[in-house]
Structure 1
């Protein structure tokens, strides 16, 4: 199986001028070994998120959140849709979260001074599950609280049309640092293609994360991601789409949050109208009346130029009732 090794996965920008690290065919499985968002810096609670101590934090923006790529997909052309099939994510034995002064929404808190005056790093142990791997393992928050590891890819995308955007706070309809928990095994991610070969990047795996990633970091970890690609020729979506076995999801990243929610909902209506036989009036009324229509707030971090990431979700069982075009 073709692979990108961890030591190769140290890019910090989505750059269409990068030379591909790997070339694959559609349907061909391959794997990427990723760094965590801190490039291996956080190994114990003694490793604090003090900028002066972190390699790459003398740069603006900092060299954080490394990604692997680009991967060149044979046959892809501008105007196509890239379908990313996420098959497996196997995380390493630990993950971490780091908080401290001027980090996250409570980094200058007067209510809880320890959050704004001290740096705190927590290291979480992972234990394997019945498979003998962490793919069905457990994350131990402390000696009393634990939960199943629910890994996903935090940062993925193709090279944007003209810009070169960094992997820390670059976002758009092409992908980026989005921290969407539905970028997980068993799901398909649909991305618009702007360059020959697609030029796909991936990194920043999380072992688990709560809605909004409130502190600005989740359970950050190193991992091996196994995936493959498919393509839809000659058309591309207006934004990122996700298909799960149970639902369809449309994504938008923007500030303020209500604009991200609004546009994700409009993208969902467009999908319903163009692919599932809804007329505009029915689509408009459906998203306001269906009791299972959901808005997911995946990322709402006060970090750099990050926008807020919203997803509009509809269960597939309603779509099976609609007349397909």
Structure 2
């Protein structure tokens, strides 16, 4: 099986000029070994998020949030849709979160000075599950709290049309640093393609995350991701889409949050109208009355130029008119 090794997965931009690290056929499984968002800096609680101590933070933008790629997909052209199927995510034996001065929305808090006066790093140990691996393992938050590891890919996308954007705050219809918990095993992601071969990058895996990723970091970890890619020829998408076994999700990122929510909902309506035979009136009324229509706020953290990421979700059982 072809693989991008971890030491190769240290790119910090979605750059269409990069030479592909892999060339794969549609349907061919391959693996990408990812670094955590700190490129391995956080190993113990003594490793603080002090910018002056972190490698790459003497650059602007800083070298953070590494990704592996690009992956060139044979037979994929501009104007196609890349279909990403995530088959497996095997995370490392620990993850981390880092908070402190000027990090996140409470990085200047006077109400709780401990959040803004000093840097704090927490290391979460991962206990293997019945399989003997972290695939069904447990994250230990502290001596009292544990929960199942629920890994997902935080940064996933193809190269945008003309821009070269950083993996730290690059976002768009093509993907990017979106921190969507539904970029998970068993789900399918649809990305519009702007260059021959699609030129996919992937990284920033999380062992778990709460809605909004409020502090700006979640349970950041190294991983090995196994995936397959295929293509829908000459199909136009307004933005990233996700298909789960039992639902569909339309994604959008913008500021303010209400724009992201509204656009994700409108794009979901477009999906219902163009592919499932809904009339515009039926789609409009459905999202306002269906008790199982859901809005997710995946990412709403104050880091660099990141926009807020929303998803509009509808169960598949309603996709019958």
TM-score range, shorter chain: over 0.9
Q: In structure 1, what is the equivalent of residue 12 of structure 2? A: 12
Q: Residue by residue, what CA displacement relative to the aligned partner does 1:165-211 show, whole Å, maximum 9, x if unpaired?
A: 00000000000000000000000000000000000000000000000
1:237 shift after superposition: 1.1
CA distance in 2, matches of 1:217, 1:173: 23
Equivalent residue number for residue 253 of structure 1: 253
| SS in structure 2 of the partner of residue 212 of structure 1 | coil
Aligned residue in 1 for 2:167: 167
Q: Name the structure 2 match of 1:42.
A: 42
Q: Is the 8 A contact 1:71 1:199 kept in 2?
A: yes
How many residue pairs get aligned? The number is: 321
Structure-1 separation of matches of 2:149 and 2:178: 19
Per the alignment, residue 141 of structure 1 pairs with: 141
Contact 1:193 1:236 (C-alpha < 8 Å) held by counterparts: no
Distance in 1 between residues matched to 2:62 and 2:83, nearest whole Å:
30
After TM superposition, give the deviation of residue 236 of structure 1 in Å.
2.6
Structure-2 residue corresponding to 1:126? 126
Structure 1 unpaired stretches of 5+:
none
1:178 aligned residue: 178
Given that 1:49 and 1:119 are in contact with CA atoms closer than 8 Å, whether structure 2 keeps it comes out as yes
- Secondary structure (helix, strand or coil) at the match of 2:281 reads helix
Alpha carbons 1:77, 1:194 under 8 Å: kept: yes
Q: What per-residue deviation string (whole Å, max 9, x for no partner) do you get for residues 66-86 of structure 1? A: 000000000000000000000
TM-score (norm 1): 0.98
Aligned pairs (5 A) from 1:145-224? 145-224=145-224
Equivalent-residue separation in structure 1 for 2:26 and 2:304 (angstroms): 35
4+ residue runs of structure 1 moved beyond 3 angstroms?
Answer: none
What residue is the counterpart of 1:81 in the other structure? 81
Give, in whole Å, the separation in 2 of the partners of 1:54 and 1:162. 31
Deviation at 1:43, TM superposition (A): 0.4
Alignment partners' CA distance in 2, 1:114 and 1:144: 21
Q: Contact 1:213 / 1:299 at 8 angstroms: preserved in 2?
A: yes
Partner of 1:61: 61
Q: Distance in 1 between matches of 2:236 and 2:205?
A: 26
Q: Contact 1:191 / 1:236 at 8 angstroms: preserved in 2?
A: no
TM-score (norm 2): 1.00
